[in-house]
Structure 1
Amino acid sequence: MDERIRRALAITPASPASARTVDVSTTGARTGRTRRIEIWFYRVDGEIYLTTQPAVRSWYANLLANPRFTFHVKNGAHADLDATAKPVLDIDERRRIFTAIVDDLNQPLHRGYLSQPVEPVAAWVSGSPLMHVTFD
């Protein structure tokens, strides 16, 4: 992987919202059509995750049905990375990952994007989609 792409993916809690903003192209679970959305990605213990605040999300349903997708890096570097998503279902693992994500989101620099404090970790663990991303 190109060094610029590696740096773009190496976000930390101090990274601004723009650094964590990517697009993902998924295959529709029902339609089979390509769908592209903008989403934030998160890095926990060196691993990449996709998630959002608690809710049912079509991108998650798409990745459950068709786990291969394209991860479009657009800040610091531009690249279309082939990737695979795997749902994180283990409750202890979800709690560990969401604790780090919620702590990250409660950083003062995100105040302009999210009302703080962000919903409690328990709400994220029980109601948020969570996908682990690996690059092909």
Structure 2
Amino acid sequence: MTDEVRQALDRQRTVEITTVGRRSGQPRRIETWRYVAAGRYWLTGSPGARDWYANLVAHPGFTLHLDGHDLRVRGRVVTDPDERARVFGEIVPALDWAGSLASWTAGSPLVEIELD
């Protein structure tokens, strides 16, 4: 990954991703938020079901779109309760609108963006 791409990833909180539909097999592009915790990059959202998450569970490879760069990456779905608690423990307190840490840990999708 070039320095230019790394800088775009570091500064761009709102990102677009293209996943592969779990049932359709078709590309699905959406806008979502990127977070940083434990020195790594994550996708998550407030508690609830997300189609993009279900797509990544079925097909972990996806495209991360950053300032004119399209990166092929992998999503590592995080289900381990201890890891989820650690990561959300860094993300949620910084979000004044987020609600409780417990609700995020219990009900939010969590995917690590695995870069090459």
Structure 2 residues without counterparts, runs of 5 or longer: none
Structure 1 or 2, whichever has the larger Rg, is 1
TM-score (norm 1): 0.81
1:98 corresponds, among 88, 96, 100, to 88
Structure (1 or 2) with the greater strand fraction:
2
The corresponding residue for 2:70 is 80
The runs of 5 or more residues in structure 1 that have no matched partner are 12-18, 107-115
Report the counterpart of residue 54 of structure 2 in structure 1: 61
Which one of 103, 106, 109 corresponds to residue 123 of structure 1?
Answer: 103
In 2, the alpha carbon distance for the partners of 1:98 and 1:28 equals: 26
Q: CA deviation at 1:104?
A: 2.2
In the other structure, the counterpart of 2:41 is 48
Residues in 2 aligned to 1:104 and 1:38: alpha-carbon distance in whole angstroms: 20
SS of the residue 1:10 aligns to = helix
- Counterpart secondary structure, 2:93: helix
Matched with 1:25 is: 18
Identity %: 44
Partners of 2:10 and 2:16 in 1: CA distance:
16
Deviating above 3 A after TM superposition, structure 1's stretches of 4 or more consecutive aligned residues are: none
Q: Which amino acid aligns with 2:100?
A: P
Counterpart CA distance in 2 for 1:129 and 1:45 is 17
SS in 2 for 1:100: helix
Let me know the Cα RMSD of the aligned residues: 1.1
